[in-house]
Amino acid sequence: MTLDIKHDKENQQFTAFLEDQEIGELAYALPEDGVMDFQHTFIEQEYRGKGLADQLIQHGLDHAKNNGFKIVATCTAVAKYLERHQQA
């Protein structure tokens, strides 16, 4: 399953869609210039355990890196992802 992920800059989140249905989000804050703090990851219960949260997290991390942000992981799911993927 591949997600369609849209960046909602106004609400500071990446929203995950599967076949046009919203199934999750990765919320962030910008606590200071050049810093993106990933604070919350959510995937609907029926879609958990399929690697979709990892896709969503990687998308957010890629966005942060491509735009020159330092990454902070307040969200435990993002912190664990970073531990598992040292190169992320």
Q: How would you write the pLDDT of the chain (88 residues) with one tens digit per residue? A: 889 999 999 999 999 999 999 999 999 999 999 999 999 999 999 999 999 999 999 999 999 999 999 999 999 999 999 999 975 4
Angle at 85 between CA 79 and CA 86, to 5 degrees: 90
Domain boundaries of the chain, sorted by first residue: 4-18+28-84
Helix, strand, coil shares of the chain, percent, nearest 5, are 30, 40, 30
pTM score of the predicted model: 0.93
Q: What pLDDT sits at residue 14?
A: 98
- Please check whether the domain covering 4-18+28-84 is classified as CATH 3.30.470.20: no
How deeply is 74 buried, as exposed, middle or buried, from its count of CB atoms within 10 A (0-12, 13-18, 19+)?
middle
